[in-house]
Structure 1
């Protein structure tokens, strides 16, 4: 990859890491389930008006929307609203990687190499360390919610893989059409119309400005710009060269949360995080095949 493409990949990872701060700011104003509906509702309207529908089977589009757009953010937003730290959430959400490998083997009969199995095992050990630390502190439930978000992401990954969209960015945008209505229904059922109305009534005050900035960031910068650049890079380079840059997301998330919110992970959480990142990298980077011996060619 040329240096400017490397910088773009690093930039996307930083943008996605900061995304967790933006979510934290929005959750200060809006109930979590309603915030998911609001986030994707804002995306869905221009998508329906201006973005061509991807030429994929409807079931895979809906599956992608339910996994990636609905279940992932139910877990993530509920977990963060329950007090799970923003920086640590950026790390635990990487549980999607081992989930994707395992579910790909179980549901799609994909072969899991020994290297991938070892990487998944190391990543799971890292997640267990983080979970044990959270449980010791009395906050294991928010941790499990964020892990549920990682499971949703992995299910979305499988649906997107089966969709095999000619234009992945169009699939990403059209995925946003799926979550708003079911999320609004869940919000009304569990959060109530009074809580929703109260959050909207106070959202026009100066105190709510960070929440709207956070929402705008997650939609325009985190999703449209970040995903657009990422898809562009993936279309020009092998996935194995681009995908490992996503491991910088928790590094960015933990660093920015420390600088902006004063979040300081415990030593065991940092060790667990290192194991998660290392395990995912080990599983995703394929060992280069040994070069075949070729007869020497003498050139004039």
Structure 2
């Protein structure tokens, strides 16, 4: 990857890492399905009146929106709402990296190099250490259902990554911003329907009538910064590089997520979590730079 694209990937990491604290803030004033529906409504409107619709088959637009937007965030918001610590959630969600690499080999016939396998395995070990650290921390206990919901959210994100790759491969001139904005229309209805069924009319009315500044700011961040900017940049990177080059950067999201959760929410890191962060960063460095370093060493030999 070029230096510019590497910096863009790191910008997305920071945006998405802080995103978990923002979600927690938003959920203090609004139930999860309603928060998701209003988030994507703000992404789509008024942007759809200024940005042309992408010229791609509706089935791919619908699959992209359903996986990476509706299902991912429905599961994630519900997980955090039932007590999943935000820092640990930012970590477990990055299972999408491993799911994406596996799905990329199955559906896109992408080839994985030895260093990518080694780096991914090391990073996975770091994730395991982080989870173990969370289990023994002063954080509230990690709900088993919350863990399952977050893992499922990671799998949905991975399917969204693969769909994104299929779309931009079949239609290379598809504007990523157009894809993000127009796909945001699709999850609005299922989110609001789920809110009506599971959260109830009273909760919806009370949340909207009594909405406070922190919830409004959270919605603005989730819609414009996390979704339009974050997913716009992420989709652009996936359109230019193989999935195994891009998705490992997401392994740094938990580093930002855990740090911001510690600083803002008081979810303190313990020794095991710090070790896990270091191991994940090591795995990422091997994944991104390992093949290049080995090639230069072989050349000098």
Contact 2:75 2:152 in 1 (8 A): yes
Deviation per residue, 1:127-147 (Å, 9 max, x gap)? 444445556745232122222
Q: Give the aligned length.
A: 289
Contact 1:90 1:254 in 2 (8 A): yes
Partner of 1:179, secondary structure, is helix
> Where in structure 2 are there 5+ consecutive unaligned residues?
none
| TM-score where L is the length of structure 1 | 0.81
Distance 1:278 1:192, change over 3 A: farther
Deviation per residue, 1:50-85 (Å, 9 max, x gap)? 221112222211111111001110121111111222
Contact 1:123 1:275 in 2 (8 A): yes
Distance of 1:124 and 1:20 partners within structure 2:
20
Distance of 1:157 and 1:235 partners within structure 2:
10
Aligned match of 1:296? none
Distance 1:138 1:49, change over 3 A: closer
| TM-score where L is the length of structure 2 | 0.81
User: Is the aligned partner of 1:218 residue 2:222?
Assistant: yes
Distance of 2:275 and 2:29 partners within structure 1:
33
Which structure: larger Rg?
1
Contact 1:96 1:151 in 2 (8 A): yes
* Alignment match of 2:143 (pick from 139, 151, 155): 139
Q: How do 1:4-83 and structure 2 match up within 5 A?
A: 10-83=10-83
User: Is the aligned partner of 1:150 residue 2:158?
Assistant: no
Aligned match of 2:103? 103
Aligned match of 2:85? 85
Deviation per residue, 1:136-175 (Å, 9 max, x gap)? 7452321222221111110100111111152222212222
> Where in structure 1 are there 5+ consecutive unaligned residues?
294-300
* Alignment match of 2:259 (pick from 241, 255, 263): 255
Higher helix share: 2
Aligned match of 1:192? 200
Aligned match of 1:177? 185
Distance 1:224 1:275, change over 3 A: same
